[in-house]
Amino acid sequence: MLNKNQTAEQAVKQIVIVGGGTAGWLTACVLAAEFQLSDDFSLTVVESPDTPTIGVGEGTWPSMRSTLKKIGINEAEFLRRCQGSLKQGTFFRDWLHGKGESYYHPFSTPIGYSEANLAEVWLESDQPEQSFAHTVTPQCRICDEAGTAKQLGIPDYAYALNYGYHLDAVAFAAMLTERAVAGLGVTHIVGHIDGVLCDSEGYIETLKTTNGQTVSGDLFIDCSGFSGLLVEQHYNIPLKSVGSILFNDRALATQVSYPSSDAKIKSTTWASAQTAGWVWDIGLRERRGVGYVYSSAHTEPSAAERVLEDYLRNETAHTKEKATYNTPRLLSFQPGYRETFWYKNCVAMGMAAGFVEPLEASALVLVELGARALADRFPATRAAMAIQADRYNREFTARWEHIVEFLKLHYLLSKREDSDYWRDHRQETTIPKTLQARLLLWQSEIPWHGEDQRADELFPSASYQYVLMGMGFKTQRTQIPRRRMHQQRSQSHELFRDVQQQAQRMSQHLPSNRRLLSDLLHRDFATL
């Protein structure tokens, strides 16, 4: 038996991931691509044979491109196998007054963003000719036209406009499984876990499965979804609820066919506000993923079903052939995140770490960031583990707080008066104090790149600009005579013209999402 000093110096050589799905296998691939796996340094995924992938989060951030490239996945094959399409941001409808208004949150930052705060100049016009996002980036025009972000025939992951993906989560998990096991040396064990054995200090040593297997490890990653098999059921680490800030706790999800084989594929996630939530609409290659996420405290199940049915009927009312869809699945969740993500030698990842709602598609990017942070700060010994755990917990608590605040911003800026749902979101008691302070600051100073604390911010200041300007946020004209303003006005108008010229050129040369995916589908794999 090891004494305390020996335990502290014990090397961390065996990683065990509990749970498969997108979170488990994406984490496995990121770590396996970072480390050279062998008999002396192993990574094992223990996956239940009958736990389905939830598959709600079918949207990714642009960071997924570098993740896929690093783990060695061919982009064209990924798009073909995972029903993938290129996503260029989010399109919001009816969030302001519920009367047909709309705006984009694109993945491209405003042109010349580090040199000029274009929002300041755009706001000087009482009646701008077009929306802020259309004024500062050509990406919005391409999205209006269901265009894609890259030209035909260019290499994997190259692009004209920044993009992420829409994907089939079940197919993606299967592809990641294949890559991890066959290509990166990950061990795959299928079985139910029914026992967790710890040492005298409470660190997990082994897991036992119902088929009699024993799996030993030094570091355990809980990717078991909402059940939180290790972090919650074993260690009793509670969720920090954010239900008093973000009210949504239910979702109805379905898959919708296209009315025709040549139907347009949306280049953005569509988020359409409703009386007690919002409907997501995601365009894949051969189907759409559609769902209504809502607050059970503000509507009845039957009313939620009618909202989704009305949306689907209205979206296909103008087509000759009617789209068909599956019976919607009801998903329930408690919006929140773990009070501690890394406890002793157990790290919660994916939905085991937390979930708030699918707005702005933060679920998969948190898995990417979590796995990368773990790889970058991997503890060599038990003694180093506690130090790295503390750093990890502080970082991801801050990230979750940031996500909650950014999502809340969409709701509190709304001026809808058609339901208590929207009025309640504007109650001061539901708005985090830090967000209240930022809103006060933004009354006279539009957020700009200097506010960004990290290079890998999930929602940098540009994202705040798109939402604030898109939702009609009004600022008081500053009385501080800044030298930069005179120069910015001249520079900004040049940049505005450049955006329109770029948009015109890209409109002529970039294919539609449908055309790009059709081209990939029919190309010979040998040439990829």
Share of the chain above pLDDT 90, in %: 81
pLDDT at 526: 42
Work out the pLDDT band at 524, boundaries 50, 70, 90.
Answer: low
Please give the single-letter amino acid code of residue 291. Answer: G
Mean pLDDT of 399-420: 98
Strand order in the sheet with 239-241: 239-241, 336-338, 354-355
Answer whether residue 318 shows pLDDT above 60: yes
pLDDT at 317: 65
pLDDT at 4: 54
Work out the pLDDT band at 398, boundaries 50, 70, 90.
Answer: very high
Paired with 272 in beta bridges are 93, 279
Which of 174-178, 354-358, 451-455, 461-465 bottoms out in mean pLDDT, i.e. has the lowest? 451-455
Which of 105-109, 268-272, 325-329 bottoms out in mean pLDDT, i.e. has the lowest? 325-329
Answer whether residue 221 shows pLDDT above 80: yes
Residue pair 180/371 in contact by the 8 Å Cβ criterion: no
The CA distances from residue 305 to 294, 314, 329, 330, 409, in Å, are: 11, 14, 10, 10, 26
Mean pLDDT of 406-416: 98
Average pLDDT, the chain: 92
Answer whether residue 14 shows pLDDT above 80: yes
Residue pair 419/275 in contact by the 8 Å Cβ criterion: yes
- Using DSSP's 3-state secondary structure scheme, residue 170 falls into helix
pLDDT at 444: 86
The domain segmentation of the chain, as residue ranges, is 11-58+168-241+334-397, 250-332
pLDDT at 264: 94
- Using DSSP's 3-state secondary structure scheme, residue 63 falls into helix
491 or 320, greater pLDDT: 491
pLDDT at 24: 97
Work out the pLDDT band at 271, boundaries 50, 70, 90.
Answer: very high
Most confident of the ranges 243-247, 444-448, 452-456: 243-247
Answer whether residue 441 shows pLDDT above 80: yes
Q: What fold, for 11-58+168-241+334-397?
A: FAD/NAD(P)-binding domain (3.50.50)
DSSP designation for 322: P
pLDDT at 504: 97
Answer whether residue 350 shows pLDDT above 60: yes
pLDDT at 456: 79
Burial call 332-370: b when 16+ CB within 10 Å, e when fewer: ebebbbbebbbbbbbbbbbbbbbbbbbbbbbbbbbbbbb
Residue pair 487/111 in contact by the 8 Å Cβ criterion: no
Work out the pLDDT band at 452, boundaries 50, 70, 90.
Answer: confident
Half-sphere CA count of 246, side-chain side, radius 13 A: 28
Work out the pLDDT band at 376, boundaries 50, 70, 90.
Answer: very high
Q: What predicted TM-score, i.e. pTM, was given to this entire model?
A: 0.94
Angle between helices 382-412 and 433-442 (to 10 degrees): 50
Residue-wise pLDDT tens digits, 34-71? 999 999 999 999 999 877 666 555 899 999 999 999 99
> By C-alpha distance, which of 106, 148, 89 is closest to 517?
148
* Pairing between β-strand 14-18 and β-strand 42-47 as defined by DSSP bridges: parallel
Please give the single-letter amino acid code of residue 253. Answer: A
Q: ∠ at Cα 69 (518, 35), nearest 5°? A: 150
* Pairing between β-strand 277-283 and β-strand 336-338 as defined by DSSP bridges: unpaired
